[in-house]
Amino acid sequence: MDRSEMRRLVEKVTSLPTLPGSVTRITKMLDDTDTTAAEVGREIEKDQVLSAKVLKLVNSGFYGFSQPISTIQHAMVLLGFNVVKTLVLSTSVLDMMSNSMAGLWQHSLACARTCAIIARFLDLDDPEEISVTGLLHDLGKVVLESNVKEVFDPVITLVKEKDMLFYKAEEEVMEITHATVGGWLLDQWQLPGQLVEPIMYHHDFHPSRTHALRTGVVHLADILVRAEGFGSGGDRRIPVLSEEAMKVMGLDVDDVKEIMEEMTDEMRDMMR
């Protein structure tokens, strides 16, 4: 399967018409700048299954709010339109994630929390948005596993046989990686570049990209979470940390140590 065939396939399985009608309606509302948080909140709450799923997600520990968030409207205010939109669109894929590769859900949650820690450390705007990219960074793996078995199975075999990094095995088998697939997915949902880019390039950092800083955050969080062994990304190796990414974030070894300490503390809380 070549690149364009892959892209068509991904777009087919994740296209808006196949998503529940309420999701399509809500995302349209979220795109309308005149809509208020209260209006969107009410619309989401009309679909009880969807609203339960979104609330379950925001309370699943990836933000670490000390009080549970009990209404969609409250979530909208705390997390912002982009985050809620992303969660609404991804509920179906995230649903699949818990039954997918062992450890991927824990890996994703831990990555989301770590992204927030790094974003706060760097004093970046919108740590909630950065955190949601951490939650979804490996979403492409779920899409591949559930829809393109003919490429996914050989990847798994290669990872095991050669003890390879997952994305390296993907490159060998299908020339693209789950990062590209995840990026296509978010792009198709018309999410903004600051959400698409960090997912699309978390294994392929380049300092000249528009959202290099946010991409660096996801790249580093993914590696730290693997290094600490929280969950699993499907392989046993740890990718090489990009020096360029460290430069763009302005982080040194001592900073990373500090971030890791905070991370292990938070993870201990989260696992409880």
Report the interface residues with Fe ion, using CB under 5 A: 138, 222, 233
Closest CA to 211 of 224, 199, 223, 225: 199
Closest CA to 213 of 110, 121, 80: 121
Residue whose CB is less far from Fe ion, 41 or 61: 61
Residue whose CB is less far from Fe ion, 69 or 178: 178
The least CB distance from residue 74 to Fe ion, in Å, is: 29
Residue whose CB is less far from Fe ion, 43 or 145: 145
Residue whose CB is less far from Fe ion, 61 or 233: 233
- Interatomic CA distance for residues 17 and 246, integer angstroms: 41
Nearest 5°: CA angle at 167, between 165 and 170? 110
Residue whose CB is less far from Fe ion, 40 or 246: 246
- Interatomic CA distance for residues 242 and 44, integer angstroms: 40
Are the beta carbons of 61 and 113 closer than 8 angstroms? yes
HSE at residue 184, side-chain half, CA atoms within 13 A, is: 23
- Interatomic CA distance for residues 234 and 214, integer angstroms: 24
- Interatomic CA distance for residues 196 and 130, integer angstroms: 11
The least CB distance from residue 219 to Fe ion, in Å, is: 9
Residue whose CB is less far from Fe ion, 145 or 222: 222
For 212, the 3-state DSSP assignment is helix
Are the beta carbons of 10 and 181 closer than 8 angstroms? yes
The least CB distance from residue 266 to Fe ion, in Å, is: 18
Are the beta carbons of 63 and 55 closer than 8 angstroms? no
The least CB distance from residue 158 to Fe ion, in Å, is: 16
The least CB distance from residue 246 to Fe ion, in Å, is: 18
DSSP 8-state secondary structure symbol assigned to residue 5 = H
Residue whose CB is less far from Fe ion, 122 or 224: 224
The least CB distance from residue 48 to Fe ion, in Å, is: 32
The least CB distance from residue 233 to Fe ion, in Å, is: 4
Q: Which segments of the chain are extended strands (E)?
A: none
